[in-house]
Structure 1
């Protein structure tokens, strides 16, 4: 059912259009006919920056540096032209008015704060057990003195700082056998997913401590990512929420499983040591439509072929836009999010920045199993292997791969005092915005 508009929304919509019209009036009214030329020059410069940026990512050698030169040159050229016409201040005012109109438009279309996942108050755990990775997140465990603070609250803590590979699953299962009634993790999303699977298996609550680098799961749970020690308050004053758990085969994930371009980058041994350099080195091959693997994704009656990258998420991300790809408002809808795309040209790179209906990116919701397969000439069906990044951890799995979701299988214990989940802004729908402005 469509939500009725309020008077403030209607006036914000009118304000948005007024700001945009004012931007054009300022530009043309101040500069006269040349204002239109300057507007066109600005648009051409923006396109040149986009094309140069794509070349920088998709080419090697001289092609890469030519793309960088084009992008920088376009910015410099636009600035020089505006300065030559003594129109730099006019340009700044015009951009400010356009930005003001955009802000007003988003405010006019803002939804009411969505109802969050239901929580229940539960008594504190008696024998909490927490694993902590001192290396995760640049050393947040040590920086925030998490081990001592957790032990002061009655938790048993195991540090993952021994030599060589540490079998986290074995450590956690041993704690369960010894009577642990809560399992906590201060580390990355990959370790949290592993422990989450054990929690779901034994119907134990999971305590998420935001001590990783990006803490996507903590963000979607409304936790404080700046101070992970605040998460420990859940040991004494907490509540529980039930969320879904994603599965790739039998392996759990709390955020997503990525196939294709990003997954192949994560597979590189150099990725952990120098992420940016590795991405720049591998992107040309991954963006080349004549190289690399092409993927197929099937869910229900829908099949997508010839995809360069596929992201399967535990519940859908945002509104399908690139800027919202790290955020979920709820994780208890019992569905998988599917984002599949290909970028073989600068034009398709531009489409990636627009809305999900464009052909570059397809955004779906899978209410059943999702199957990802690979198509490589010369390989026998079912014998190929697919690189996959599962919550940032690199794996190679045999094709085809089946992803599924276990609805509300995971209990998560949260501190009652927490920042909360940021509300995702709606994309600007100009038809709806115009209807609001007209009072419809």
Structure 2
């Protein structure tokens, strides 16, 4: 009985989503002409705010200040208009109903086609694990969470990096293997993780990720706890293994992303680490308007991306990325690179990007097995997992499919693929078909999109 109820859940959620959407339309209709005026003003305000952000990023002095005022003032003006028209309450109710419709729609589609987690396999605990720890990483998380003592109590040998001395982390990992290590691990940022992961993959050893960096994107997509790095050490005594892909850019390994264009140029600055915002604001006008930096052209399998201002290549695609929030990668073992290209040529395209999101012409979203970046320069700046490098052109990005064995704790807070999935925009035709379906299983299609065509790589913007 419980199984039947669960199988009907997607259809019921889809019906609830349509009901909330209809109620939102009714609430909006009750506001009358003033409500429609405010709705139009909301879209206009969003476009004006985007134009303000564009001017704030691409101008200096007074034009930058004016852009910042537009970006802040446009939303405030919309709220004041709603108050003056006395439709704010009904408007807020309509927004709440619409958000509920989106949440139910996403839940319905996830329940109808549950995302499959990365497969795990049992493996015996390591006998001679070696962990490399960076005491500076993450603002001192190694010391704050007492990671050295906890790791040693679990039988690991800890190699503590000396912040005052430049050390070859990959060489330290190779020495550990020569001394008999049967597992390598890192408590540090994603750049350090990638260096040691490459050595572990080369020797076929399991790799342990301890989320002691600043952002810990790799740890997040593995489902690890980023708030308490010490929980990652539980894998030493009770863990399972995932097999994931490793990215390659030139002769360098990456676990997360490779960036080209504006961001890669900015991180080259010696001042970036100490004053990130000020450094970026100083460099962006020249970078975005084309006065500085090399001209790039990228080929992602059969697709061409011309003159992107920023290009990001990721180890497996993000679920539903946008320029502000990349979200998460639900799988790290699909053998595909994610590609995000951005080209904004003026205020009008900035407004379109704000209004249309991933469907805007300024944004290109692709999946590919190989990405080759050409430039009008013999070498270009590249940011590999946040680390500033300079590589000769053309720069080739590929994947080593399922090259890395990662040992993770048996219980991981982010292991549920439904939690990892990014909140993408629902397909209302698909939801309507699901709501009207007589199939008790609530399944939608079979690898086809809402128009009935076979599903393929999702693309947006220009090919």
- Do Structure 1 and Structure 2 share a fold, with TM-score over 0.5? yes
Q: Does 1:431 align with 2:429?
A: yes
Name stretches of at least 5 consecutive residues in structure 2 with no aligned partner: 1-5, 439-463
Out of 169-178 and 220-229, give the one that drifted further.
169-178
For residues 366 and 33 of structure 1, the distance between their equivalents in structure 2, rounded to whole angstroms, comes to 48
Q: Does 1:70 align with 2:67?
A: no
| 1:310-331 CA-partner distances (Å, limit 9, x unpaired) | 2121122213444662421111
C-alpha contact (below 8 Å) 1:387/1:397 kept by paired residues: yes
Alpha-carbon spacing, 1:371–1:46, altered in 2? closer, same or farther (3 Å): closer
The equivalent of 2:101 in structure 1 is 101
For residue 132 of structure 1, what is the aligned residue in structure 2?
Answer: 133
* Structure 2 residue aligned with 1:39: 39
Q: Secondary structure at the match of 1:281?
A: helix
C-alpha distance in structure 1 between counterparts of 2:120 and 2:17, whole Å: 38
**CA apart distance, 1:6:** 6.2
SS of 1:271's partner is coil
Q: 2:92 maps to which residue?
A: 92
Determine the C-alpha separation between the residues in 1 that align with 2:271 and 2:224: 31
**3-state DSSP of counterpart to 1:92:** helix
1:323–1:428 distance in 2 versus 1, CA, 3 Å: farther
Once the 2 structures are TM-superposed, how far is the Cα of residue 43 of structure 1 from its aligned partner?
Answer: 2.5
Matched, 1:275 2:276: yes
Separation in 2, partners of 1:222, 1:10: 29
The two structures have a TM-score, normalised by structure 1, of 0.90
Q: Does 1:300 align with 2:301?
A: yes
8 Å Cα contact 1:113-1:423 kept in structure 2: no
Determine the C-alpha separation between the residues in 1 that align with 2:13 and 2:88.
28
Structure 1 residue 74: deviation in Å? 1.8
Asked whether the 8 Å contact 1:109–1:426 carries over to 2, the reply is no
Greater displacement, 222-231 / 19-28: 19-28
Equivalent residues in 2 for 1:371-382, closer than 5 Å? 371-375=372-376
CA separation of 1:60/1:415 partners in 2, compared to 1, >3 Å: closer, same or farther? same
Give the CA deviation at 1:306: 1.6
Quote the Cα distance in structure 1 between the aligned partners of 2:149 and 2:201. 27
> What is the match of residue 361 of structure 2?
359
Q: Distance in 2 between matches of 1:27 and 1:115?
A: 38
Q: Secondary structure at the match of 2:78?
A: helix
Q: Provide closer, same or farther for how the CA distance between residues 320 and 42 of structure 1 changes in structure 2, counting only shifts above 3 A.
A: closer
> How many Å separate the matches in 2 of 1:90 and 1:300?
49
Aligned to 1:53: 53
Q: Any stretches of 5+ residues in structure 1 without a counterpart?
A: none
Q: Is the 8 A contact 2:265 2:293 kept in 1?
A: no
Q: Structure 1 residues 87 and 366 mapped into 2: Cα distance closer, same or farther (>3 Å)?
A: closer
Equivalences for 1:104-115 in 2 at 5 Å?
104-111=104-111, 112-115=113-116
Q: Is the 8 A contact 2:35 2:91 kept in 1?
A: no
The residue matched to 1:296 in structure 2 has which SS? strand
Residue in 1 that maps onto 2:383 = 389
> 1:17-32, aligned counterparts within 5 Å?
17-29=18-30, 31-32=31-32
SS in 2 for 1:77: helix
Aligned pairs, how many? 427
Q: Which residue of 1 aligns with 2:3?
A: none
Structure 1 contact 125–181 (Cα < 8 Å) conserved = yes
Classify the secondary structure of the residue corresponding to 1:267.
Answer: coil
What TM-score, normalized by structure 2, do the two folds share?
0.86
Secondary structure in structure 2 of the residue aligned to 1:252: strand
Q: What is the CA distance between 1:84 and its match in structure 2?
A: 2.5
Q: Which residue of structure 1 lines up, in the alignment, with residue 80 of structure 2?
A: 80
Task: Say whether residues 1:401 and 2:383 are aligned partners.
Answer: no
